[in-house]
């Protein structure tokens, strides 16, 4: 990890769960981290929890990835202050309960805008920065088991609606990026991380009660991200699927 010392990593959805755990792990690894989220108060709380001598490694900024103007504004500030982006963790996500056949169309559009188009826009800006500086950059896509299989086990009435199609889109988008990055002769890696059930705020309470003893900790996923970042420059870990032991669906 020495080559990443003082490099710039951007983490979307950094205020809780996997994003917060990843932010802490990246700081411990020596990155300069920019944590982006809608809940700036939670970001500041996260910063206050860091050891005093590490707090200068975290810059917090408001960003709603479902809004292109918000993404552009936040990333422009990052580029002006830090000069470039070396690692992007596309972690921000949106999940709403309901069925695809009856949900409000605006809620479904919000899921797609956050989980797909927000990822695309953040990646476009980070890619441009990495390519222009000809750096060995790395982009991480926070995918899901839902991006490889339509889950119906929890609960019996399907609740993943547009979330699963959005994650399937990330699976395809990740491979498209891999091919584009190679064809454009860049040194940029792309990795998809697909966790099973993770103990985060997004988990429905009924699911939490049923699977309380069979969930990943956010740190488990953060460690997988660090593993992908730690590989040699000529090694690209394209997909990591990580599931809690005993998961049945």
Q: Which CATH homologous superfamily contains domain 2-241?
A: NAD(P)-binding Rossmann-like Domain (3.40.50.720)
- pLDDT confidence tier of residue 242, bands split at 50, 70 and 90: very high
Residue 110: pLDDT over 70: yes
Whole-number Å distance between alpha carbons of 137 and 101 = 41
Task: Output the 3-class SS for 131-181.
Answer: HHHCCCCEEEEECCHHHCCCCCCCCCCCCCCCHHHHHHHHHHHHHHHHHHH
Q: What's residue 148's pLDDT?
A: 95
Q: What is the pLDDT of residues 76-107, one digit of tens each?
A: 999 999 999 999 999 999 999 899 999 999 99
The average pLDDT across 130-153 equals 93
Question: In the structure encoding, which two tokens stand for residue 93, read together?
Answer: 């996500």
Whole-number Å distance between alpha carbons of 61 and 92 = 14
Q: What is the pLDDT of residues 215-240, one digit of tens each?
A: 899 999 999 999 999 999 999 999 99
- pLDDT confidence tier of residue 64, bands split at 50, 70 and 90: very high
The average pLDDT across 52-56 equals 96
Q: What's residue 205's pLDDT?
A: 60
Residue 59: pLDDT over 90: yes
- pLDDT confidence tier of residue 206, bands split at 50, 70 and 90: low
Nearest to 239 by CA among 186, 188, 182, 172: 172
Q: What is the pLDDT of residues 150-194, one digit of tens each?
A: 987 555 778 889 999 999 999 999 999 999 999 999 999 999 999
Q: What's residue 10's pLDDT?
A: 98
Q: Is there a contact between 53 and 97 (Cβ–Cβ < 8 Å)?
A: no
Question: In the structure encoding, which two tokens stand for residue 178, read together?
Answer: 């891999």
Between the alpha carbon of residue 197 and those of residues 43, 152, 159, 170, 217, the distances in Å are 24, 13, 14, 18, 9
Whole-number Å distance between alpha carbons of 217 and 209 = 15
Q: What is the pLDDT of residues 8-46, one digit of tens each?
A: 999 999 999 999 999 999 999 999 999 999 999 999 999
Q: Which residues pair with 34 in a beta bridge?
A: 10, 59
Q: What's residue 208's pLDDT?
A: 63
Q: What's residue 235's pLDDT?
A: 97
Question: How many C-beta neighbours within 10 Å does residue 234 have?
Answer: 8
DSSP code at position 106? H
Whole-number Å distance between alpha carbons of 88 and 189 = 11
Whole-number Å distance between alpha carbons of 116 and 131 = 22
Whole-number Å distance between alpha carbons of 132 and 128 = 6
Q: Which residues pair with 58 in a beta bridge?
A: 33
Question: How many C-beta neighbours within 10 Å does residue 26 have?
Answer: 28
Q: What's residue 217's pLDDT?
A: 92
Active site residues: 163
Helix (H, G, I), strand (E, B) or coil at 189: strand
């Amino acid at each position: 990890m020495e080559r990443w010392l003082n490099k710039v990593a951007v983490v979307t959805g950094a205020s809780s769960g996997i994003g917060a755990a990843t932010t802490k792990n990246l700081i411990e690894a020596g990155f300069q981290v920019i944590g982006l989220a809608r809940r700036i108060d939670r970001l500041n709380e996260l910063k206050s929890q860091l050891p005093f001598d590490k707090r200068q490694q975290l810059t917090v900024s408001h960003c709603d990835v479902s809004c292109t103007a918000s993404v552009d504004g936040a990333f422009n500030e990052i580029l002006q202050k830090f000069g470039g982006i070396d690692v992007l963790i596309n972690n921000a996500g949106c999940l709403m309960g309901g069925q695809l056949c009856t949900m409000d169309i605006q809620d479904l559009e919000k899921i797609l805008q956050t989980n797909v188009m927000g990822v695309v826009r953040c990646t476009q800006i980070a890619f441009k920065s990495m390519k222009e500086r000809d750096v060995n950059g790395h982009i991480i896509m926070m995918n899901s088991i839902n991006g490889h299989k339509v889950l119906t086990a929890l609960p019996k009435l399907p609740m993943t609606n547009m979330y699963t199609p959005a994650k399937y889109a990330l699976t395809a988008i990740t491979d498209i990026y891999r091919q584009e990055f190679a064809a454009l002769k860049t040194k940029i890696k792309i990795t998809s991380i697909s966790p099973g059930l993770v103990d985060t705020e997004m988990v429905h309470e009924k699911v939490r009660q049923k699977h309380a003893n069979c969930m990943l900790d956010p740190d488990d996923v953060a460690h997988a991200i660090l593993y992908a970042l730690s590989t040699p420059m000529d090694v690209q870990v394209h997909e990591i699927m990580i599931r809690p032991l005993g998961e049945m669906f």
